[in-house]
Amino acid sequence: VPMWWSGDAWEDSPMGRIAAGVWRGYRELPALVEVWRTAPLQALARLHSLVAKDLEPGDDLGRPRQGALEPDDPLRLGPAPSPEVTVARLGLLSSLVSAGTTAPALVEAAVVHGELMTLRPFRTCSGPIARMATRLVLAARMLDPDQLSVPEAGLVALGRPRYVAALR
């Protein structure tokens, strides 16, 4: 397997490490669809362990932030909820996803994305993970089972200022 396929051949810079992690996360998405249906927090933990592998200490990978750790805020969304509130709301989100909903798949995907962006459960990489979770919802709900759509294209078309305003 070439190193670029594993996500390990990117340049050793902050952006290169993020790009490599995002590559690893997107590669893993097809294998996480079934996990997402029954154990969404496990799927999020796996994504974080892949995406943040080169950015966070090994002990923090796959675990929601704890203590006084503030999450990175590249979109300048402002303060995130406390770790205690974050863990509680992640539990509620997990219950919602696991139990299923009659809401349309697009609505569920938007709620999952918005909640993860609000909570920013990890110190780093919560944004890419929220966008990957959108794809997991669409695949798990069979709206895009083969993951051929690119929901991120809509975010790009919306533009960063409007995206940030919608998140706020």
Residues of the chain with pLDDT > 70, as a percent, come to 94
pLDDT tens string 86-126: 999 999 999 999 999 999 999 999 999 999 999 999 999 99
CB 118 within 8 A of CB 167: yes
| Sequence letter at residue 58 | G
Residues of the chain with pLDDT > 90, as a percent, come to 81
- CA atoms of 70 and 143, how far apart (whole Å): 35
What average pLDDT does the chain have?
Answer: 91
pLDDT tens string 33-50: 999 999 999 999 999 999
Q: Average pLDDT of 74-85?
A: 94
- CA atoms of 57 and 46, how far apart (whole Å): 15
For residue 29, pLDDT beyond 90:
yes
pTM, two decimals, is 0.90
pLDDT at 1: 44
Which residue intervals of the chain are DSSP H helices? 3-6, 14-38, 40-51, 83-99, 105-119, 126-140, 151-158, 160-167
- CA atoms of 127 and 117, how far apart (whole Å): 6
